[in-house]
Structure 1
Amino acid sequence: MNDALALEVKNLSVDFHTDGGVVHAVKGADISVREGAILGLVGESGSGKSVTSLAVLRLLGTPRAKITGGEILFRGENLLDKTEKEMCAIRGPHIGMVSQNALSALDPSFTIGAQLVEVIRLHQGVDKATARVKALEALDLVALPESKRRMKAYPHELSGGQRQRVVIAIALSCRPELLLADEPTTALDATVQKQILDLLLDINAELGTSILLVTHDFGVVAHVCTDVTVMRRGDVLESGTVERVLTQPQHPYTQGLMRAVPHLRLDEATRAVPRADRRLFEFRTEEKEAVDVA
């Protein structure tokens, strides 16, 4: 990892024009993702973190949303200056996207294999047979069990964790330099969540993929990320390395968030998401000590 930037968002502003007036969803945000790093973009619901990530790909999803200022620099070029055709050549081959809900991201009418093959053929211009080989490689990359058989499966036939692996496989099928992951584990149970987070770590380590991870969970940040940026109500409040921000937060809002976190283990070489059974054990120990003192 170095200090070169895979993505630099400068003074970004995004407004939503609603019937009730203009909502300033993002207000002059500055966000940087270092090459080979994993940046956690953290904030409560409505903080503007997901809007920021969608703005990078210019996929805000409604004509009422407008990027009103700033720059989004990728590979030294401002994405806001690109035509829609040029953006289509960037989405997929250079910047991949993993959405929060894999079931809605996948088409229920087509098999997993058909959806992977379509993406690969669209962006890489290969024949169907070659695309199928590449699709299997992508599923193997994300460690989907029985990948060859799963190629013939429909989304509803897979578990939540398996569907999320497929969505990640689609995003990685063209080997993008940057991966945007918007709350990729929110809908999953704790065990599967850790598997997906570990998969993101492996992708970062083995492929050198830079990752922008949108989350509201500081436990996820502690486990996965190298850097963190905190947002609230469209403003960026604090940025820095995970170790610095999580152990020495400077902004009062970040300090308040950290006080609300039950426990974070940052003193180990391998950081881990706090385990519920571990916290329960600590609670029982404290309860027993209190009884003994009484």
Structure 2
Amino acid sequence: MTALLRIEDLSVDFHTDGGVVHAVENVDLSVEPGEIRGLVGESGSGKSVTSLSVLGLLGSGRARISSGRILFRGENLLEKDQRGMRKIRGGHIGLVSQNALSALDPSFTIGAQLVEVIRLHQNVDAKTARRAALDALELVALPDAVRRMKAYPHELSGGQRQRVVIAIALACRPELLLADEPTTALDATVQKQILDLLLDINRELGTAILIVTHDFGVVAHVCSEVTVMRHGRIVETGTRADILERPQHPYTQGLMNAVPKLRLSAAERAIPRSSRRLFEFSHDSISEGGKSNVSA
């Protein structure tokens, strides 16, 4: 099967007053059609930089992609100009950010923001766009969608706002969804609802999803394939079972050991809490990863 998204040898540098920071180094990553892949790592591991590079949304003028290719349906996105990328964003690749309140414009109603996205990417009139906007809100199971079309972001709960952000990302039925920490700001019950929603979208629409997360609970719930990053490099790639049950790289093993357990054995309770923390590994000990499962 041809990958829907293929990232090859991607390196991203940030040019700061203190020198060059190598945020992402020689990353290889692929997402197949209909797949849900998790990109996992601690804060600062380079996972968000990797995903935002796909859409050309690094933002800072100091960011530079120094090497690599990002292929979407065989086309190198790094060769497209801003006009070409605007057609890709939203129309073919949707983005779900981790902070829904900052992602939504407080000056416009939910319906107006959805209609704007739809009309930007599709040649439809306002009435058709409003119907599509309502369909998108119903797709994400937002209660009382007709009334919510007239609401402003601050009038919705955190979970409702996150559903709206997902609705906007899906409004034009993209083939790929990039979800950057989509449940971070939500309580446990709402987190599960959002993850179940992403699973439903994947099953019903066949949308491929790349989920950026630090949470192995998210990985266990929705991902079929997992890629682990550390210091801007991929250290291990495999199936969900490979990573959660049979991690090979010491860093991945350390991550798994750091996951809190609700039930500890007597022997585990005897271990001092400080000794249960994630092991620390030097940058030099981790080289670029390969397809399964590990790079030593």
TM-score of the two chains, using structure 2 as the length reference: 0.88
Aligned to 2:80: 82
Aligned mates of 2:8, 2:237 — CA distance in 1: 14
- Alignment of structure 1 residues 95-244 onto 2, 5 Å: 95-244=93-242
Relative to structure 1, the CA distance from residue 150 to residue 237 in structure 2 (aligned partners, 3 Å threshold; closer, same or farther) is: same
Aligned to 1:20: 18
For 2:225, give the aligned amino acid: D
Aligned mates of 1:162, 1:286 — CA distance in 2: 42
Aligned to 1:59: 57
Q: Shift in Å at residue 286 of structure 1? A: 6.4
For 2:162, give the aligned amino acid: Q
Aligned mates of 1:260, 1:167 — CA distance in 2: 31
Q: Shift in Å at residue 262 of structure 1? A: 2.8
1:43-85 per-residue CA deviation (whole Å, 9 max, x = no partner) reads 0000000000000001101110011100101001111111111
TM-score of the two chains, using structure 1 as the length reference: 0.89
For 2:53, give the aligned amino acid: A
Aligned to 1:247: 245
- Alignment of structure 1 residues 5-16 onto 2, 5 Å: 5-16=3-14
Percent of residue pairs bearing the same amino acid type: 75
Aligned mates of 2:123, 2:146 — CA distance in 1: 22
1:71-107 per-residue CA deviation (whole Å, 9 max, x = no partner) reads 1010011111111111111111100000010000000
Moved more, 245-254 or 187-196: 245-254
Root-mean-square deviation (CA, aligned residues, Å) is: 1.6
Aligned mates of 1:176, 1:71 — CA distance in 2: 21
Aligned mates of 2:258, 2:88 — CA distance in 1: 39
Aligned mates of 2:254, 2:102 — CA distance in 1: 34
Which consecutive residues of structure 2, in runs of 5 or more, have no partner in the other structure?
A: 271-296
Which consecutive residues of structure 1, in runs of 5 or more, have no partner in the other structure?
A: 264-278
Aligned mates of 2:189, 2:129 — CA distance in 1: 32
For 2:23, give the aligned amino acid: A
Q: State the number of aligned residues.
A: 269
Aligned mates of 1:69, 1:46 — CA distance in 2: 20
Q: Shift in Å at residue 4 of structure 1? A: 3.0
Counterpart secondary structure, 1:149: helix
Moved more, 43-52 or 83-92: 83-92
For 2:15, give the aligned amino acid: H
Counterpart secondary structure, 2:4: strand
